[in-house]
A and B are shown apart, each in its own frame.
Chain A
């Protein structure tokens, strides 16, 4: 069974540009959530999608947005990149996101560097 797939693995952008990251969940999983990991702030929740609808949202500016498609694949977009957006972006999938015994399975992440 394939795991959570994130593309691209590495990305280098310059300030002011925008970027789109992709996440393909485990087959059958309908909940996808996104996290930002930095050495200073640690792991922070960005947003969660279920059945193409945003269900939960973290405390990030509007430059960070996401969406989910009918096949449960998800993308996140960051517009007007800032140096502080340099981070490892992880996505996680689970069956529904609310099942009592559900585990979240994480992808390998996209390492974004903003120059």
Chain B
């Protein structure tokens, strides 16, 4: 059974600082997603990572994927208040051996950026 673990679950940081959110998964898959969710809102797609060594950047966010270590990271550079949200990683379980779940999500990281 595919399991996805994120850490930390809660992150409070100051504006201007850097930090990294980690996403570990238990079974090899060829597709990993990062999503953002604001309170009371739906999920907004941030990145799709497909291959080992993939790195994608948008603004102050950069995501990477190491399929051998089954690890993805979401790095936040020089955080600003607007980045406050909950961030989820999700692995495409339908691409894993014997997998039947489309997306398996981590528990999410609630990020608060303080002035």
Residues of A within 8 A of B (CB): 33, 35, 42-45, 48, 55-59, 90, 92, 97-98, 100-109
What does the 1/0 interface line of B97-115 toward A look like (CB < 8 Å)?
0001111111110000000
Q: How many residues of B contact A (CB 8 A)?
A: 23
Distance in Å: Cβ of B28 to nearest Cβ of chain A: 16
Residue of A with least CB distance to B1: A59
Within 8 A of A (CB), among B31-69: 31, 33, 35, 41-45, 48, 50
Q: Which residues of B contact A109 (CB under 8 A)?
A: 42
Q: Please tell me if the beta carbons of B48 and A48 are within 8 angstroms of each other in the complex.
A: no
Which residues of B are in contact with A by a Cβ distance under 8 Å?
A: 31, 33, 35, 41-45, 48, 50, 88, 90, 93-94, 100-108
Is A101 a contact partner of B50 (Cβ separation < 8 A)? yes
Contact of B103 among A55, A104, A107 (CB under 8 A): A104
* Cβ distance B95 to chain A, nearest Cβ, rounded Å: 9
CB within 8 Å for A100 and B50 given contacts A45-B93, A48-B102, A58-B101: yes
Contact yes or no, A107 B48, CB < 8 A? no
